[in-house]
Amino acid sequence: MVRAADALVKAMESKGVDVIFGIPGGSILPLYDAFYDSNIRTILMRHEQQAAHAAEGYARVKGRPGVAVATSGPGATNLVTGIVNAMMDSQPVIAITGQVPREVLGTDAFQETDITGILLPVTKYAVTVKEPSKLAQTFIDSYYIATAGRPGPVLIDIPRDVLQADVEPQWKDEPSLIKYALGSVTEQTQEPNPELISKAADILINAEKPVIIAGGGVIISNATEELVRLAEYLMAPVVVTTPGLGSIPSDHPLMLGVIGMHGRIEANLAVIESDTILAVGMRFADRSVGRFDEFQKGRKVIHVDIDASELGKNVTPTISIAGDAKKVLSELYACIISRTARKEARPFVQRLKAIGESFDEFMNNYGEPTRITSWRALKVIREELPRNAIVTTGVGQHQMWVQLCFKVFEPRTLLTSCGLGTMGFGLPAAVGAKAAAPDRTVACIDGDGSFFMTCQSLVPVVQYDIPVICIIFDNRALGMIRQLQDFFYQKRYKDEHLGLSRKHVEKGIDYVKLAESMGVEGAVAESLDDLRMLVRRAVRSEQALVIDLPIDREERVLPMVPPGRWLNQMMTPMGFDIHARIRV
């Protein structure tokens, strides 16, 4: 017999768990005691939300579940934002929470809360384990569920006395849930329907302006090779959703960039002009397509997703194919090459690329040449980071600038909060990413608003030698709020100012001192040359560094499609006449 907590740790080890992110507390202490004798590395975060983000950062880089651990009550409730973030972005995170002993459950005991009830709607699976003998098996089940089909978070809530009970250390490596034990068809094993593949192939072969939209599902299913091969054979341009960034290298000749509210001009124009859309591993979010009715007008839509409930949810496709992106793309390719020769280059792609290049040139030359703009700063950062560096972001203007102009060359190298839009995601996700890939450069590109929400994640950076570079785009404002109040609320600015004084708007938080108080070196980049030098030094030295990059609070992220409008309503910066360029 062994303690159930020890059996759980053995089960975790058997699935390859090598690190957990969390904070101990009374109800979860038996598990921490079991970690004492294990090779699993424990990283003490300074807030449970950050533990969940770190676990997600780890999961996104590794492509397998990250684990977050918290105690009962406030420890568990603090996890909620991080868990919902993982749910919205389909990432496998396993949350393990302590719970009060079974005999006091339901008595409003100290630090008791029904975390299973709270998280049921926003997890794939949530369970309170009442039988000590089932604890290890529950972990195996949860690991399977988190990764099966469309990935997502799971919760295992464990009363303290369950962790402490003696059990036979027995579990099976397969899931015990009836659905999986019976071997019924699951999303992951589901074969794409050959008839639908055949019909979709015909539509794509006969399309004059086919466009492929790649979503996060392409990255999750490791389908980059299949995507690129199909696009090149069809000579079809590829646009991506925000989670799909990295599914095809940004410098690939057929890649037109991100679509949507803050999408690239050429990418949105491609969708508008298309006669056929092949949408793979994406869910037609309002941020990506603006208006569902306009999207469906005058074009054929082939929608591929592993989650059958996504098919027809927002957009009614011409063909819906339920299946794994890698399998479907592979079978589509096989079907198409058996029926037609490789397509010739399509003139509309070159025309759209030229419009995109003219926008890049416009932004590169915007204002005085030495002025620090977000656009120029991101160009400098990209030039100094290795091609395979992992970049995380917070949420806000800086994130939109990243998706517009920061080149992403490999899958799983841009980690950003897409569906939930969680400010503060960047730094703890970077901690998780660096723990997953200690040999690679990890940089967090953050806004000052986002950074301040989770900046205490700098402490584990030092404590566990997880050196990440953090670059704060510091405009002393909630920049996106300021932009929205400017555009849609007649400049009635309210509570968007992050500085220390309304009178002296430039007086802000001293991020250098803040970083140094947590043991991380900090520096201010006064110019683009400073920024280049600082990033270069941090990459070479492999030391953590916080760079405060003051930027203009009046910068606006453009293009922008106003909420609820079709993509052809793009607002562009003053001086860039999109209509003139389309006519050319």
Partner 1 sequence: MHAYVFSVVIEDSLEALIKVLLTTRQAQAKLISAEVCESGIENVKLLTMSLSLKPEKAEWLKRKLSNLPTVLEANYVGLNTFLKV
Q: Which is nearer to partner 1, 121 or 575 (by Cβ)? A: 121
Which 8-state DSSP code applies to residue 2?
E
Q: Which stretch binds partner 1 (CB under 8 A): 56-64, 177-185, 390-398, 533-541?
A: 177-185
Contact present, 190 and 311 (Cβ < 8 Å): no
Q: Which is nearer to partner 1, 150 or 398 (by Cβ)? A: 150
Q: Which stretch binds partner 1 (CB under 8 A): 90-98, 120-128, 163-171, 433-441?
A: 120-128
Alpha-carbon gap, residue 98 to 359, rounded angstroms: 53
Alpha-carbon gap, residue 259 to 382, rounded angstroms: 21
Alpha-carbon gap, residue 74 to 315, rounded angstroms: 40
Select from 9, 45, 127, 282 the one that contacts partner 1 (CB under 8 A). Answer: 127
Q: Which is nearer to partner 1, 122 or 518 (by Cβ)? A: 122
Provide φ and ψ at 253, rounded to 5°. -60, -25
What are the tokens at 17? Answer: 């768990």
Q: How far is the CB of 154 from partner 1 (least distance, A)?
A: 9
Q: How far is the CB of 126 from partner 1 (least distance, A)?
A: 6
Residues in the chain, how many? Answer: 584
Alpha-carbon gap, residue 43 to 268, rounded angstroms: 42
Q: Which is nearer to partner 1, 130 or 209 (by Cβ)? A: 130
What are the tokens at 467? Answer: 């050196």
- Single-letter residue type at 228: V
Q: Identify which of 57, 17, 24, 21 has the alpha carbon closest to the alpha carbon of residue 40.
A: 17
Q: How far is the CB of 363 from partner 1 (least distance, A)?
A: 41
Alpha-carbon gap, residue 184 to 48, rounded angstroms: 36
Say whether residue 177 binds partner 1 (CB under 8 A).
yes
Say whether residue 145 binds partner 1 (CB under 8 A).
yes
Q: How far is the CB of 79 from partner 1 (least distance, A)?
A: 17
149 to 168: interface string for partner 1, x by CB under 8 A: xx------------------
What are the tokens at 336? Answer: 């198409």
Q: Which is nearer to partner 1, 149 or 169 (by Cβ)? A: 149
Say whether residue 137 binds partner 1 (CB under 8 A).
no
Q: How far is the CB of 321 from partner 1 (least distance, A)?
A: 14
Q: How far is the CB of 145 from partner 1 (least distance, A)?
A: 5
Q: Which is nearer to partner 1, 97 or 450 (by Cβ)? A: 97
Select from 16, 39, 41, 120 the one that contacts partner 1 (CB under 8 A). Answer: 120
Select from 125, 143, 406, 566 the one that contacts partner 1 (CB under 8 A). Answer: 125
Alpha carbon distance, N-terminus to C-terminus of the chain: 78
Q: How far is the CB of 337 from partner 1 (least distance, A)?
A: 32
Contact present, 130 and 105 (Cβ < 8 Å): no
Contacts of 382 (CB under 8 A, 6+ apart): 406, 407
Q: How far is the CB of 39 from partner 1 (least distance, A)?
A: 29
Which 8-state DSSP code applies to residue 134?
G
Q: How many residues bind partner 1 (CB under 8 A)?
A: 26
Q: Identify which of 282, 300, 288 has the alpha carbon closest to the alpha carbon of residue 263.
A: 288
329 to 368: interface string for partner 1, x by CB under 8 A: ----------------------------------------
Say whether residue 116 binds partner 1 (CB under 8 A).
yes
Q: Which stretch binds partner 1 (CB under 8 A): 37-45, 66-74, 123-131, 535-543?
A: 123-131
Select from 273, 294, 307, 510 the one that contacts partner 1 (CB under 8 A). Answer: 307
Q: How far is the CB of 309 from partner 1 (least distance, A)?
A: 4
Alpha-carbon gap, residue 572 to 561, rounded angstroms: 9
Q: How far is the CB of 327 from partner 1 (least distance, A)?
A: 18
Residues in region 179-218 near partner 1 by CB under 8 A:
179-180, 182, 184, 187
Q: Identify which of 290, 245, 235 has the alpha carbon closest to the alpha carbon of residue 89.
A: 245
3-state secondary structure 378-429: HHHHHHHCCCCCEEEECCCHHHHHHHHHCCCCCCCCEECCCCCCCCCCHHHH
Q: Which stretch binds partner 1 (CB under 8 A): 148-156, 232-240, 474-482, 490-498?
A: 148-156
Contact present, 576 and 279 (Cβ < 8 Å): no
Select from 11, 136, 156, 311 the one that contacts partner 1 (CB under 8 A). Answer: 311
Alpha-carbon gap, residue 126 to 156, rounded angstroms: 6
Strands 166-167 and 2-3: antiparallel
Residues forming contacts to partner 1 in the complex (CB under 8 A) are: 116-117, 120-121, 124-128, 145, 148-150, 177-180, 182, 184, 187, 307-309, 311-313
